[in-house]
Amino acid sequence: MKTRTQSIFILIALFLQSACTWYENPEPFIPKPKVPKATTTLEASYTIDTPNQLTHAYWNTSDYFVVQEEDITTGLVTDIDGLLNVNNMQNGIPDFNKGNPSNLELRAAYDDQNLYIKVTWNDAKYNTSQGSWLFNGPNDPLKADVTDGWTSQGNDDNLFLSFDMGTSKRDVWKWSLALSEPLGYAIDMYDDGINIVTDVGDKIYERNEMIAGDYRSGPKYEWDGVQQELERGLAGFTILDPGFYLLNKTTFKGDVNLGDQIYQAECAQCHGVTGNGQGEFPADFAFNIPGTMTRISRASYDARVSATTHDGKGYWTPLTQEEKDNLIARIYAFTGVPGYYLDNSTGSFPDVQAVSNTQLAKITSPREGVQYEVLLVRPLLTGSAQDIQFDLSKSMDYVFDIYLTDNDDLNKIGLQTQSLTFLTQ
């Protein structure tokens, strides 16, 4: 049995123990959260976190480089016959993003294998088509080209990073919404000081044309109606909108000239001579909106146009199958048949993987206030003479240019001769 004194002694001992416990085990040290700050060069911090997704927590706290962009090239127009409305940034900065700031920012990181560069910028409108095929399409205010028959029109949005490899050679990574994003890569190119070429074995897209190099020859392929599903690298699974992307393809069907004759006789009174929906009896249903009519498969056209709710039903049902085929070709050619198709038949992919926030399953454009987010991931060392090697045992500093385009193939804004610094671990 404990005495009263013993009990008090135990209580004091317990108190002292708890007091000692408190002093011996202070609360764990919690570092203050890192507050991101703007830097004057692009700094890549070392991390073991593998920040290979846009939403990775690393990017919330990383420092960022704000690019005060300048005009790089302006006033250029393509001289290719039949290639129209591909130069949207004649005046450079005032034309980019409808004159609103691009808010172009870069963030970077590296680990033992890879360099990660996250790029964000504003662009009010997704421009997804590159050289789409239009029949009797609109003219180009900057060019005097004839617009009768097939022309190739429109352009996409691009991001370029160009690294100085010395002796006027450069490694150029081009992220293209039309050509590279669907497969989850950036186009890896090499500038030898005279020509820019795609790296050997890295081409993942092909021009969809009847005659090589002829921008008036018309499309060779169209969508075959099978949902376009694709498993990509870091970018993961996607479905590709057949209004803009061609992966599952078949030979382009129908005679567009004959189709146009039927269209003008049977459909134009409501849908308009130019497919703008404003005929003599306006249908208020336009065909000349990018992507909209080519994402309808041939198999489902018949049901839609012969639906009892369709005012033009009676003009469609008497047509022969051949006439319908020709007419659908004509409607596709109002919307624009994709100017390229995707191809990875060689099985070799570029080294530069890309993850972006674009939704490719159904592209709606314009998308007001859209901010592009693109993450590029490349091994530090590739071993290829056409690639820059980030050999950190030799140098922690690299020189690069960055460019943006907005529905324009030639004119660019951005900033040249910037430095990418790998911070020591």
Q: How far apart (Å, rounded) are the C-alpha atoms in residues 214 and 218? A: 8
Token pair 């950036």 is at which residue? 186
Question: What residues have CB less than 8 Å from 203, skipping those under 6 apart?
Answer: 343, 346
Q: How far apart (Å, rounded) are the C-alpha atoms in residues 422 and 111? A: 10
Q: Please choose, out of 4-12, 62-70, 102-110, 311-319, the segment that lies near ligand HEC by the rule CB under 6 A.
A: 311-319
Q: How far apart (Å, rounded) are the C-alpha atoms in residues 164 and 174? A: 15
Reading the block at residue 217, the tokens are 């020859």
Residue closer to ligand HEC by CB (options 229, 311) is 311
Residue closer to ligand HEC by CB (options 226, 307) is 307
Q: Which residues of 107-145 are buried (b: 16+ CB within 10 A; e: fewer)?
A: bbbbbeebbbbbbbbbbbbbbbbbbbbbbbbeebebbeb
Residue closer to ligand HEC by CB (options 152, 326) is 326
Residue closer to ligand HEC by CB (options 240, 327) is 327
Residue closer to ligand HEC by CB (options 312, 379) is 312
Q: How far apart (Å, rounded) are the C-alpha atoms in residues 343 and 181? A: 13
Q: Per-residue x/- mask for ligand HEC, residues 291 to 310, rule CB under 6 A?
A: -------------xx---xx
- Give the residue, chosen from 315, 349, 399, 419, that forms a contact with ligand HEC under the rule CB under 6 A: 315
422 within 8 A of 392, measured Cβ to Cβ: yes
Residue closer to ligand HEC by CB (options 327, 337) is 327
Residue closer to ligand HEC by CB (options 315, 349) is 315
- Enumerate residues 329-358 that contact ligand HEC by CB under 6 A: none
Size of the site for ligand HEC (CB under 6 A): 17
Question: What residues have CB less than 8 Å from 19, skipping those under 6 apart?
Answer: none
208 within 8 A of 183, measured Cβ to Cβ: no
- Enumerate residues 241-270 that contact ligand HEC by CB under 6 A: 266-267, 269-270
Cis peptide before 366 (omega within 30 of 0): yes
- Give the residue, chosen from 281, 322, 362, 371, that forms a contact with ligand HEC under the rule CB under 6 A: 281
- Give the residue, chosen from 80, 312, 367, 373, that forms a contact with ligand HEC under the rule CB under 6 A: 312
Query: 165, exposed or middle or buried, with CB in 10 Å at 0-12, 13-18, 19+?
Result: buried
229 binds ligand HEC (CB under 6 A): no
- Give the residue, chosen from 183, 327, 363, 402, that forms a contact with ligand HEC under the rule CB under 6 A: 327
111 within 8 A of 48, measured Cβ to Cβ: yes
Rounded to a whole number of angstroms, the minimum distance from the CB of residue 244 to ligand HEC is: 17
Q: Please choose, out of 54-62, 157-165, 188-196, 279-287, the segment that lies near ligand HEC by the rule CB under 6 A.
A: 279-287
> Which positions lie near ligand HEC, rule CB under 6 A?
266-267, 269-271, 281, 283, 285, 304-305, 309-312, 315-316, 327
